[in-house]
Amino acid sequence: MVDWRHSVEALYRADAARLWRAVYAYAADPDIASESVAEAYAQALRRGSAVRDPAAWTWRAAFRIAAGAMKDRRAGDRQPVRPIEHVDSYADPDLLVALRALPEAQRAAVILFYYADLPVSAIAHRLGSNALAVRANLSRGRRRLHALLGDDDD
Amino acid sequence: MTDLHDRFRSLDRIAVPDVWSEVQRRAETLADTRVGPVAGRLQWRGAQAERRPVSLRWLVLVVAAAMVLVALALALAASHRSSAGPLVFVSNSRVFAVDVDRGTTRPIFQEPTTAGNELRISPDGQHIAFLWVRNPDGYVWVIARADGSGFRTTGPVSFTSGAAAWAPDGRTFAWVGRDETRSANSDYLILADVDARVRRRIQVPVFGTIQIVWSADSSRVAILMNGTHDSPCSPFGPPGLYLVDVFNGTVQEVGDQLRVGSLAWSSDGRRIATSIVAGPSGASDSSCDPTAPSKLVSIDAASGTLDVLAEGLPGPATSLTWSRDDGSIEYLLQEADRDTGRDTFALWRTPLDGGQPRLLTTVVGDTSPVWSPDLTRLAWFSEGSLWVLDLDRRDPRRLVDGVASRPLFWPKWSLDSSFIVFLRERPGPEPEPGNSESSNFVPEQVSSLWVVRPDGTDEQRLVDDTAGLDPESVDW
């Protein structure tokens, strides 16, 4: 019998750090990143073998949970946007600030493309979108990111 | 120019908290509650017991025994009719094969962390090639369609989306990508045999969105850089058309950064027909107008010289094809109808002997019409229906209603032109009320895969209630 818990833990040890960083770049909030990653893996653990592709599923779930948390946060007390908490001073602060200026769909697309190194079709799969929309978001997000980073000479 | 890949790698320097104990605590809590709908549950006909492998094994044995008893009869029946060939698709990272003639669907390949899609079935229907991703590496697999057995490339490779194609002889699979075992800064046209062993690497000066089009004799490859089959404009970089001789490894650019969309090889492999967007050569991306006038040209594959066949076309020609005698070129020109705002597709024929282009017919559609492999019909989607035009009768006919016209999913013909595959979709299950843990899971579309003959008969549902089906992966 397959030890599902062991498999999910192995996946967590191999992939959760990248997922956490990707969600952190997406949500700009370490609490949302931790919440989303923990919830995604907990649900994967609970669902067991019903999850066909745990690696893709946890990314998809974590991004959706993060999107829901960001929506709840916006609909809540309407506080001014929280300053970015740089978890590590060696990270690229300009990049994180620029990412926050992108619409969420563009932000998710560029993070999965440039950080997770996924092809467009896999990004579409993980975001529950289609390749045409991902390509459009990726193109717009890339141009916007270059402009925000002071590198719009393309 | 800033390399965004490098900047994003800085994210790896961010310290990450270990939340595994929180994962376990939440999992224990969830054990006492009902969880929401599972994204991507697949059901296929005759395989409801897939979650019970032991039972399935007995079921398969019984079915197999029954199949053996009727195999001879089926084989005899099949020998007297055309075969639609195998249809394959990806759902929830598993590769499925459909036998349309028998109406059976079965999984043939699964890996725990597979993200494989963009399936490419070989022209002889015997092999399937696809990219298999295990972060951060990708591997090209070639598997047998019959049983899923197969091979993968030995080293990790990168893979430009869409840039993969079987040679018409069915013995070579080619893609454009970076071979991580070699120089990481160069792109190669990589040629692999059916056992996935890399036979040859040819360095090519391309990047961005790539299309590979083989000549009919499998001796040459045309590589379109940053143009898609329905548009010569792409935001991903400069354009270009390159010809590669796969035997001697020579690479030749045609013209100077030509903006090319659709192209077609002549049957003798000596010429290419394509349309070029008029305008300054080497212009920047921002100047590319996908609706700008274009020229229809014929390119000599050996010398790279261009012959202009027609000028001033209102936009790029798409769905280009040569007539069977290589004496004329047929193509579609897309225009927006000013009254209705809908797209019209005009089918033109231009002879190569200097004659005038002739308008054959015009249809209205939501997707560009797709040729049947025997070049006798066109199929397209329009307002939720599947349409077919018989070129002999030139009367567009609506075959079936209620089809899903997803972006990047066009009607797809079987190899023998006997069937067309299409999708139907409906909303997926709603999240269960009162379950906060599942509140962030939005309803998904679930898809069913159908086929119909081009005369409108024999409509069949192959797969239903498939939340994870990737429409772009469907191939046959």
Question: How many whole angstroms separate alpha carbon B296 and alpha carbon B232?
Answer: 13
Q: What is the pLDDT of residues B144-157, one digit of tens each?
A: 877 777 777 666 66
- Chain B residues in contact with A34 by the CB 8 A cut-off are 17, 19, 22
Q: Determine the pLDDT at residue B388.
A: 94
Q: How far is B457 from chain A (nearest CA, A)?
A: 31
Q: Determine the pLDDT at residue B160.
A: 63
- Chain B residues in contact with A37 by the CB 8 A cut-off are 19
Q: Determine the pLDDT at residue B137.
A: 65
Closest-approach residue (CA) in chain A for B237: A154
Whether the per-residue pLDDT at B220 is higher than 90: the answer is yes
The encoded tokens of residue B129 equal: 């090639």
- Chain B residues in contact with A49 by the CB 8 A cut-off are 51
Do B312 and B293 meet the contact criterion of CB atoms below 8 Å apart? Answer: yes
Q: Determine the pLDDT at residue B397.
A: 92
Q: Determine the pLDDT at residue B266.
A: 92
> B461: closest CA among B404, B405, B408, B421?
B421
The encoded tokens of residue B155 equal: 């080293």
Taking an 8 Å cut-off on Cβ atoms, the answer to whether B23 and A41 are in contact is: yes
Q: Determine the pLDDT at residue B73.
A: 58
- B218 φψ region: left (φ > 0), alpha (ψ -120 to 50), beta (else): left
Whether the per-residue pLDDT at B441 is higher than 50: the answer is no
Q: Of the candidates A17, A43, A53, which has its C-beta nearest B30's C-beta?
A: A43
**B74 or B336, which is more confident:** B336
Query: Is the CB of B48 inside 8 Å of chain A's CB atoms?
Result: no
Distance set, CA B423 to CA A25, B330, B379, B445, B449 (Å): 36, 28, 14, 11, 5
> B317: closest CA among B354, B367, B362, B263?
B263
Q: Determine the pLDDT at residue B35.
A: 32
Closest-approach residue (CA) in chain A for B52: A49
pTM here is 0.58
Question: How many whole angstroms separate alpha carbon B255 and alpha carbon B281?
Answer: 9
Whether the per-residue pLDDT at B68 is higher than 80: the answer is no
Closest-approach residue (CA) in chain B for A123: B115
Site from B6, B26, B437 to mutate, A interface, most A CB atoms within 10 angstroms: B26
Q: Determine the pLDDT at residue B365.
A: 82
Closest-approach residue (CA) in chain A for B209: A135
| pLDDT confidence tier of residue B329, bands split at 50, 70 and 90 | very high
Do A45 and B25 meet the contact criterion of CB atoms below 8 Å apart? Answer: no
Q: For all residues of chain B together, what is the average pLDDT?
A: 75
Question: How many whole angstroms separate alpha carbon B390 and alpha carbon B401?
Answer: 19
Question: What is the average pLDDT across B157-178?
Answer: 77
Whether the per-residue pLDDT at B50 is higher than 70: the answer is no
Q: What is the pLDDT of residues B258-284, one digit of tens each?
A: 877 788 999 888 999 988 876 544 443
Q: Determine the pLDDT at residue A109.
A: 92
Whether the per-residue pLDDT at B352 is higher than 60: the answer is yes
The encoded tokens of residue A127 equal: 């975001």
Do B418 and B394 meet the contact criterion of CB atoms below 8 Å apart? Answer: no
Q: What is the pLDDT of residues B177-216, one digit of tens each?
A: 776 566 566 788 888 888 777 788 888 887 777 788 999 8
Q: Determine the pLDDT at residue A76.
A: 60
Residue ranges of chain A whose pLDDT lies below 70: 1-3, 75-91, 152-154
Whether the per-residue pLDDT at B222 is higher than 80: the answer is yes
Q: What is the pLDDT of residues B6-49, one digit of tens each?
A: 888 888 877 778 888 888 888 777 654 333 332 222 222 222 22
Question: How many whole angstroms separate alpha carbon B37 and alpha carbon B35?
Answer: 7
CB atoms within 10 A of CB B3: 10
The encoded tokens of residue A91 equal: 């990270």
Q: What is the pLDDT of residues B93-135, one digit of tens each?
A: 678 888 877 777 777 877 644 455 567 888 888 888 877 766 5
Q: Determine the pLDDT at residue B83.
A: 61
Site from B3, B10, B56, B439 to mutate, A interface, most A CB atoms within 10 angstroms: B10
> B223: closest CA among B163, B304, B300?
B163
Taking an 8 Å cut-off on Cβ atoms, the answer to whether B23 and A42 are in contact is: yes
Query: Is the CB of B303 inside 8 Å of chain A's CB atoms?
Result: no
DSSP β-bridge partners for residue B404:
B423
Q: Determine the pLDDT at residue A152.
A: 57
Taking an 8 Å cut-off on Cβ atoms, the answer to whether B407 and A131 are in contact is: yes
Q: How far is B223 from chain A (nearest CA, A)?
A: 19
Taking an 8 Å cut-off on Cβ atoms, the answer to whether A61 and B39 are in contact is: yes
Closest-approach residue (CA) in chain B for A117: B136
Question: How many whole angstroms separate alpha carbon B429 and alpha carbon B332?
Answer: 40
Query: Is the CB of B11 inside 8 Å of chain A's CB atoms?
Result: yes
Q: Of the candidates B39, B51, B113, which has its C-beta nearest A60's C-beta?
A: B39
The encoded tokens of residue B1 equal: 């120019």
Question: What is the average pLDDT across B462-470?
Answer: 69
Question: How many whole angstroms separate alpha carbon B128 and alpha carbon B476?
Answer: 10
CA angle at residue B50 from B138 to A40, to 5 degrees? 55
